[in-house]
Amino acid sequence: MKTTLNCGGKLLDLSTPRVMGIINTTPDSFYEPSRSQNIDQALRQAEQMLIDGADVLDIGGMSTRPGATLIDPQTEQKRILPLIKSLAEQFSQAIISVDTVYATTAQAAVDAGAGIINDVSAGKFDAQLLPTIAQLRVPYVLMHLQGSPDTMQQNPHYPHGVVPTVVQFLADKLAFLRQMGIHDVVIDPGFGFGKTTEHNYQLLKSLSVLQILGMPIMAGVSRKGMIWRTLGIDAKQALNGTTVVHTIALLNGATLLRVHDVKEAVEAIKLVELYKNSN
């Protein structure tokens, strides 16, 4: 299992699970408290996440919630680049990830100080993205998505089963990435991206199967509908449920948690690690 990633000269050690904190510069991300409408607010949010134990800060300029439509890369870059530059200046040791599907945004973000590209599309929305990642030589988060954000939750179905389909997709794409010279990869099964609640929990239960691919596994379940819809609450009330699902994911092999609530995720990791390593 690959346990270290070179993030633009900064080493991310995933021999024990780590936390990626979510900061959105969007007006429409599904969880309102994750949205930062100005740089000062985002910098305060980032500082608190780092104090709470975040290892990576994931910056997003475009919502990929169910029903969202893709914005153009120019608008995305206008939202995120000033923040990335400020984060790189004020928190020079922090590892910055950028959530994008566009090659030009990936290039500009890395130039501004980002060290990871987190792509929900697996390269299918911009043919130049993967060649750009290969040139940039930064780690790449490879995620499974059925459809596109605007339509992905309209009757998602998997005739051959969601777990075999996701595993095969990730395996095939990993082989393609290796051919391109992209070797630092984190795999993400894409909870909530073209999956029903039942699909999501099937993936969660079988998450350990992804370990056969030999890459770190990211779980992005924080405050998602698979939690709050199941419990009959809303995203703002879903922290407790998120912690439960994080715990299951960690027990099943997740090595990176992408979260809105860093402190609670760090606590979950500490307890699960103690449990796993106890005699």
258 in catalytic set: yes
Domain positions in the chain are 17-273
Q: How far is CA 77 from CA 73, 90, 129, in A?
A: 6, 20, 15
Cα-Cα-Cα-Cα torsion 73, 60, 187, 16, nearest 10 degrees, comes to 150
* Token code pair at residue 71: 């914005």
* Residue 274: Cβ within 10 Å count: 9
Burial code (b: 16+ CB inside 10 Å, e: under 16) for 168-194 equals ebbeebbeebeeeebbbbbbbbbbbbb
How far, in Å, CA of 162 to CA of 147, rounded? 14
CATH number of 17-273: 3.20.20.20
- Give me the percent of the chain exceeding a pLDDT of 90: 85
Name the active-site residue from 35, 79, 195, 258: 258
Spatial neighbors of 76 by CB under 8 A, at least 6 apart, are 61, 62, 100, 102, 105
Which tokens belong to 51? 């104090």
Instruction: Evaluate if residue 175 carries a pLDDT over 70.
Output: yes
Query: How many beta carbons lie within 10 A of that of residue 98, not counting itself?
Result: 30
Give the angle subtended at the CA of 174 by the CAs of 171 and 176, to the nearest 5°. Answer: 115
State the catalytic residue, choosing from 173, 195, 223, 224: 224
Q: What is the pTM of this model?
A: 0.94
Residues paired with 141 in a beta bridge: 118, 186
Which pLDDT does position 57 carry in this prediction?
A: 98
CB neighbourhood size of 229 (10 A): 13
Section 150-160 average pLDDT:
80
**What confidence score (pLDDT) does residue 132 get?**
98
Predicted confidence (pLDDT) at residue 53 exceeds the cutoff of 70: yes
Task: Give the residue carrying structure tokens 């975040």.
Answer: 54
Mean pLDDT, range 84-108, rounded to an integer: 97
226-278 pLDDT per residue, tens: 999 999 999 999 999 999 999 999 999 999 999 999 999 999 999 999 999 99
Give me the mean pLDDT over the 169-184 stretch. Answer: 97
Give mean pLDDT, residues 91-118.
97
Residue 26 token pair: 């969007």
Output the DSSP codes for the chain.
---EEEETTEEEE-SS-EEEEEEE--S--SSGGGB--SHHHHHHHHHHHHHHT-SEEEEESS--STT--PPPHHHHHHHHHHHHHHHHHH-TTSEEEEE-S-HHHHHHHHHHT--EEEETTTT-S-TTHHHHHHHHT--EEEE--SS-TTTTTSS---TT-HHHHHHHHHHHHHHHHHHHT---EEEE--TTSS--HHHHHHHHHTGGGGGGG-S-BEE--TT-HHHHHHHTS-GGG-HHHHHHHHHHHHHTT--EEEES-HHHHHHHHHHHHHHHH--
Whether 91 and 112 have beta carbons less than 8 Å apart is answered as no
Tens-place pLDDT, residues 34-43: 556 688 889 9
Catalytic, 223? Answer no
Q: Is the pLDDT of residue 180 over 80?
A: yes
What is the average pLDDT across 98-127?
97
What percent of the chain is predicted at pLDDT more than 70?
A: 94
pLDDT above 70: residue 30 = no
